[in-house]
């Protein structure tokens, strides 16, 4: 009996679209990360990028549970001494809603070169308009909780 080991040539990539309107940020991010990694495919291999492309629309309408809107803080560093900056979740959702989803999803991907390649297949848009109609994305439903 032989064991099937997939190679990078055998990968077929599909496009999926997730509507973030009314969805919880963490649940949306885990669903997107699983698809980007390819864990939904029977041929999943941890050391290969076999995942699909993910489009997230209506990023401005994603919701945070509990007091995260007031208490959650996003940090970044400018690169200069004493350059640690912070932004609250409410301000981030108002100004850069796409960045909030990108950070949540990319934080769930592997922290290596393979994870960076997986992260490039994520497309996030603040409204319901996106330029990927030609790829014929399949709609994915999030399980409501």
What DSSP letter does each residue of the chain carry, written as one string?
-------GGG----EEEEE-TT-BHHHHHHHHHHHHHTTTSTT--TTS--PPEEEEE-GGG-B--TTHHHH-EEEEE-SSTT-EEEEEHHHHHHH-HHHHHHHHHHTTS-SSHHHHHHHTTEEE-SSS--S-GGG-PEEEPPPP-
36-60 pLDDT, tens digit per residue, is 999 999 989 999 999 999 999 999 9
> What does pTM read for this prediction?
0.91
Print the domain residue range for 25.
Answer: 14-64+96-140
pLDDT digits (tens, 9 = 90+) for 93-130: 999 999 999 999 999 999 999 999 999 999 999 999 99
Whether 70 is covered by a domain: the verdict is no
Q: Is residue 25 part of a domain?
A: yes
In-domain check, residue 19: yes
Question: 90 in a domain, yes or no?
Answer: no
Residue 77 lies in a domain: no
- The verdict on residue 50 lying in a domain is yes
For residue 5, tell me if it sits in a domain.
Answer: no
User: How many domains is the chain partitioned into structurally?
Assistant: 1
CATH number (domain holding residue 129): 3.90.1180.10
């Amino acid at each position: 009996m032989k064991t099937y080991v997939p190679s990078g040539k055998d990968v077929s990539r599909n496009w999926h679209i997730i509507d973030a309107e009314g969805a919880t940020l963490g649940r949306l991010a885990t669903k997107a990360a699983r698809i980007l990694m390819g864990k939904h495919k029977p041929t999943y291999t941890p050391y290969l990028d076999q995942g699909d492309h993910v489009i997230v629309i209506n990023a401005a309408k994603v919701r945070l549970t509990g007091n995260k809107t007031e208490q959650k803080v996003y940090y970044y560093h400018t690169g200069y001494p004493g350059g640690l900056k912070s932004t609250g979740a409410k301000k981030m959702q108002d100004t850069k809603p796409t960045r909030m989803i990108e950070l949540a999803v990319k934080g769930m991907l592997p922290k290596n070169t393979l994870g960076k390649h997986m992260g490039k297949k994520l497309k996030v848009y603040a409204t319901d308009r996106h330029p990927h109609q030609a790829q014929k994305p399949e709609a994915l439903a999030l399980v409501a909780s």
